[in-house]
Amino acid sequence: MLIPSLALLLVSAIVATPALAQDRRVPSSGAELRLSFAPIVQRVQPAVVNVYAAKTVQNRNPLLDDPIFRRFFGVPGQQPEQMQRSLGSGVMVDASGLVVTNNHVIEGADQVKISLADKREFEAEIVLKDSRTDLAVLRIKDSKEKFTTIDFANSDELLVGDVVLAIGNPFGVGQTVTQGIISALARTQVGITDYQFFIQTDAAINPGNSGGALVDMTGKLAGINTAIFSRSGGSQGIGFAIPANMVRVVVASAKSGGKAVKRPYLGARLQAVTPEIAETLGLKSPTGALVANVAANSPAARAGLKLSDLITSIDGQVIDDPNAFDYRFATRPLGGSAQIDVQRAGKTVKLTVPLETAPDTNRDEIVLTARSPFQGAKVANISPAVADELRLDASTEGVVVIDLADGGTAAGVGFQKGDIILAVNSQKIAKTSDLDKASKTSARIWRITVVRGGQQINVTLGG
């Protein structure tokens, strides 16, 4: 029953994309069905590692915050510490000891260890973290040996139905290999990261597989396993991997010595095409990315992109929605240009967009330490780079929260990363120095105006 179905799937793929699928075929005999994936596993398994992360946290008992309670019961003011540990997987991508994993595996970690397939353990340092892709790059400390690595596949050449292997450490039982196919490509409604363009697979992926390798039948890295859809906590045949072409960009930034990933900056806000918009524009189907805003002097503006343009392709690759454009644009190499096709007034217009990073002038990051509702918040002036990082409108101005200290007052009262502070006690906040000054003012009542997710919120807090 399986062979005819698979044949039908592959025949349709061959008809659709003959150049990519011409070397794919179904098994022609029982002997071929008894073939093994062992040679591929033996070649790549040494490059898949286990990642152990640990961080120290304080057990917060609210009663211990009360000095009267501590004095009456003789409880020491110092709260006990506890070690939290997480387990994931990683992939060796450079022989010098560079490992890529998921950012959520090592987020907030004080210590990181790498365990190889041969059981040897090494201390590791965090080279780069990128929450926008949920990727992080680690480096093994004080090692001069050459490690086994996996080469990157071109994930744009993958097809639905291709056989893949998932390698990682599920539930901490030890390195494990599972096999399946690519169930879907370009999944954009997963809601995990900023760049949503995932490979979906039915190869069994479970907790602990995060950061592990999704390998194609040439033994190359097709993607980094990052999430599962599950109602039980275990694999239900719906797993998601970050495509290798995105992983390659993050690793390249780490190799160049950067602490942040450098990506091309468009300077325009895009929105999805709804059926109603498609009908208004006279489109046969609701596809493409509609330009909703263009920032002045941005690469988009200099390329001639205009409000209400409909982006349909980039460098010949079809764009179905804004997420697809974001992924395609972010994986373009800096320094050159990208060719985009737009529909404008019923005609196709070709534009050339320069591939350059967002300007990061006058960022002026500070951490607020004064006793106030803002204590423990890291804030910055909104530059084009900050707006791009936080997915804010390119024309946004003001002061934004870019990070929150664990246990800080700001996190405790409910501030979130991406909150824009407009005013404090009727004083307009235009730059970080304004907020720093306002936070040092004694007040019994704090009236704060915040913009979150495009909505203005007025908050009143006690001093």
Hey, which residues are catalytic here? 104, 134, 210
d(CA 322, CA 288): 7
The number of beta carbons lying within 10 Å of the beta carbon of residue 227 is 21
Distance of CA 309 to the CA centre of its chain: 27
Q: Are strands 420-424 and 445-452 parallel, antiparallel or unpaired?
A: antiparallel
> Could you give the dihedral angle defined by the CA atoms of residues 176, 181, 183 and 188, in that order, rounded to the nearest 10 degrees?
60
Measured in residues, the chain has a length of 463
The DSSP result for 263-325, as a single string, is: -----EEEEE--HHHHHHHT-SSS-SEEEEEE-TTSHHHHHT--TT-EEEEETTEE--SHHHH
d(CA 421, CA 399): 6
d(CA 202, CA 223): 14
d(CA 75, CA 352): 67
d(CA 271, CA 288): 9
d(CA 126, CA 140): 9
